Amino acid sequence: MAESGSTPNRRTLLTGLAAAPVVGLPAVASAYMASDPIFSAIAGRGRLNAELETAMDHTDNTIVSRADKVSIDAAWRAQHVAGDALDDADAAIFGMQPQTPQGALALLRHVATVMGGDPGQLYHEGKECEAIMRCVAFLEATGGQQ
């Protein structure tokens, strides 16, 4: 099938499908949003989070197995490197300007999710996250139109 400006090509469709579970949007709609870099950034952050979880599990298993100090230190270093990469990804995402309304919704959802993960970082006992999610729900329900 010939590509046209209104029909996503295979690569765009696969990119959208990869991002859809991360941002909680329907896969077909995501294919049309592939031009917004926020989706790939959030997907990349998801992969970095998985790497950090793996590194943390490895550190725990290394300590539990009573491995030698060199192995434990290496596991801790790998965990810190993974954590620093995740922090860098968050900083980059928080500094991004969405290119589409759907990208803005994805960024709002991501910020609320990340903030909700550590209540110690919140100023008003999670009320920030609730407010963001109410905005997301409103924008999704209204299509951003009044």
Structure tokens, 103: 């990208």
pLDDT at position 137 is: 82
pLDDT at position 17 is: 42
Number of domain units in the chain: 1
Does residue 92 sit within a domain?
yes
Q: Cα(52)–Cα(81) distance, rounded to whole angstroms?
A: 9
Does residue 99 sit within a domain?
yes
Q: Cα(95)–Cα(87) distance, rounded to whole angstroms?
A: 12
Does residue 123 sit within a domain?
yes
Q: Cα(36)–Cα(101) distance, rounded to whole angstroms?
A: 10
Q: Cα(59)–Cα(72) distance, rounded to whole angstroms?
A: 7
Question: By CB neighbour count within 10 A (0-12 exposed, 13-18 middle, 19+ buried), where does 107 fall?
Answer: buried
Does residue 7 sit within a domain?
no
Does residue 55 sit within a domain?
yes
Does residue 134 sit within a domain?
yes
Quick: pLDDT tens for 90-117: 888 888 888 888 888 888 888 878 776 6
Q: Is the pLDDT of residue 132 over 70?
A: yes
Question: What is the separation of C-alpha 83 from the centre of its chain, rounded to a whole number of angstroms?
Answer: 14
Query: Would you place residue 15 in the very low, low, confident or very high pLDDT band (cuts 50, 70, 90)?
Result: very low
| Range of the structural domain that residue 74 is part of | 19-142
Q: Is the pLDDT of residue 8 over 80?
A: no
Residue 36 is given by DSSP the state -
Does residue 10 sit within a domain?
no
Instruction: Kindly report the number of other CB atoms within 10 A of residue 137's CB atom.
Output: 12
Is the alpha carbon torsion for 34, 36, 42, 44 positive or negative?
A: positive
Q: What is the pTM of this model?
A: 0.63
Least confident of 61-70, 73-82, 95-104: 95-104
C-alpha R_g of the chain: 19
Does residue 31 sit within a domain?
yes
